[in-house]
C-alpha cells in the first residue's frame, strides 16, 4: 500500500531530487484546511500510481528552508519533480481528475 512519505529539509535532496522516478511533493501545514481537503486525493493517487511515481509531503512549518527555496507562498502547493527539477505545480485544493491529468502528462513526457 503506497502512501506519501514525510520529507524534511535535511532529506529533500536525497529523497526527492535524487529519486529515480518522478515525485509529487505536497507542501502543507497542520493548520491548513485546504491541505486537509486535498490530502485524501494525494493518498488515493499514491495508490493508483504506485510504481510509476512517488509521493512526498513537506510540512512547511517544520521544513521552511525547502518551502522558501521553491517559492512556496500559498499552501497546499503540489510540485512535481522529474530528474531532480520541478516540472509542474498546482497551488490550492483541486479536483482529483485535474491533479491526475497533470501527473499523467508528466509521466507521459
pLDDT given at position 104: 93
Given the residues 35, 53, 56, 93, select the one marked as catalytic: 35
Q: Is 109 exposed, middle or buried (0-12, 13-18, 19+ CB in 10 A)?
A: exposed
* Range 5-108 classified under CATH 3.90.950.20: no
pLDDT given at position 2: 79
pLDDT given at position 53: 95
Which residues in 8-104 belong to E strands, given as ranges? 23-28, 54-59, 77-82, 85-91
* The pLDDT of residue 1 is above 70: no
In the residue annotation, 73 being an active-site residue is answered as no
pLDDT given at position 76: 96
pLDDT given at position 109: 66
pLDDT tens, position by position, 43-95: 999 999 999 999 999 999 999 999 999 999 999 999 999 999 999 999 998 99
Which residues in the chain belong to E strands, given as ranges? 5-6, 23-28, 54-59, 77-82, 85-91
Given the residues 7, 23, 25, 32, select the one marked as catalytic: 32
pLDDT tens, position by position, 3-48: 999 999 999 999 999 999 999 999 999 999 999 999 999 999 999 9
pLDDT given at position 108: 87
Could you tell me the residue ranges of all domains in the chain? 5-108
In the residue annotation, 35 being an active-site residue is answered as yes
Amino acid at each position: 500500500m503506497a502512501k506519501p512519505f514525510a520529507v524534511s529539509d535535511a532529506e529533500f535532496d536525497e529523497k526527492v531530487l535524487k529519486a529515480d522516478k518522478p515525485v509529487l511533493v505536497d507542501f502543507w501545514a497542520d493548520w491548513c484546511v485546504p491541505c486537509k481537503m486535498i490530502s485524501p486525493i494525494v493518498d488515493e493517487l499514491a495508490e493508483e500510481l504506485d510504481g510509476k511515481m512517488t509521493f512526498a509531503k513537506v510540512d512547511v512549518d517544520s521544513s521552511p528552508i525547502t518551502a522558501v527555496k521553491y517559492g512556496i507562498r500559498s499552501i497546499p502547493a503540489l510540485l512535481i519533480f522529474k530528474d531532480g527539477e520541478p516540472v509542474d505545480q498546482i497551488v490550492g485544493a483541486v479536483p482529483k481528475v485535474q491533479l491526475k491529468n497533470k501527473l499523467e502528462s508528466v509521466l507521459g513526457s
